[in-house]
A and B are shown apart, each in its own frame.
Chain A
């Protein structure tokens, strides 16, 4: 949920999404959902020679599960805030994780 919130704050920023098949897509982040599915606008493919079928594509929906990385603009995130939110959020997460033992 924390990461979802982070991505919501990144809407309208330019990001580079790297897929597990090594395709790199640069575009403007239009929206994201709880599965971290991503909608990108104004997209550009890094290696158009290798992926010529992508040249004409202007926007796309990316299923979250095929993403390896998202490169985000460093000045668009407050790292201190992220760390605090993570520390607070992790307690919430612990409750939902099955504990071991007992």
Chain B
């Protein structure tokens, strides 16, 4: 049952091992965060610091097929942030390879 990642028995173990580490978070609404994880709970509510948020905004281009408008990335920085868990899709710890 154990694979390469040292003894993970439960998905939340992955998150616990990422405390005080920079993590990548993918959110609903085409948003992504990177920041240092300090707290989480079973809902995946998060508290992170030194956060950079990237919002992907697709602007339709006149005449182009609507599937490929020009993609703009809007970035913001926040010192300390609470993230409500219901918006979380994916959390990825720093790769320790």
B-binding residues in A (CB < 8 A)? 1-3, 6-7, 20, 36, 64-65, 67-74, 76-77, 79, 82-83, 85-87, 89-90, 93-94, 96-97, 99
Contacts and interface: CB of A to CB of B under 8 A. Distances in A.
B41 interface: yes
Interface string B37-61: 0111110010101000000000000
Contacts of A82: 38-39, 47
Contacts of B80: 71-74, 76-77
B75 interface: no
Interface residues of B, number: 24
Contacts of A1: 41
12 contacts: A3-B39, A3-B41, A3-B47, A36-B84, A72-B82, A79-B36, A83-B20, A86-B16, A89-B41, A90-B40, A93-B12, A97-B42
Contacts of B39: 2-3, 6, 82-83, 85-86
Contact of B84 (A67, A73, A77, A93): A67
- Residue of B29, B39, B45, B81 with highest tally of chain A CB at under 10 A: B39
A37 B82 CA distance: 13
Interface string B77-88: 011111110110
B81 A86 contact: no
A17 B94 CA distance: 28
B62 interface: no
Contacts of A6: 39, 47, 82
- Residue of A1, A6, A77, A90 with highest tally of chain B CB at under 10 A: A90
B91 interface: no
B78 A71 contact: yes
9 closest residue pairs by CB, A with B: A74-B79, A70-B82, A74-B80, A82-B39, A82-B38, A93-B42, A79-B38, A86-B39, A83-B19
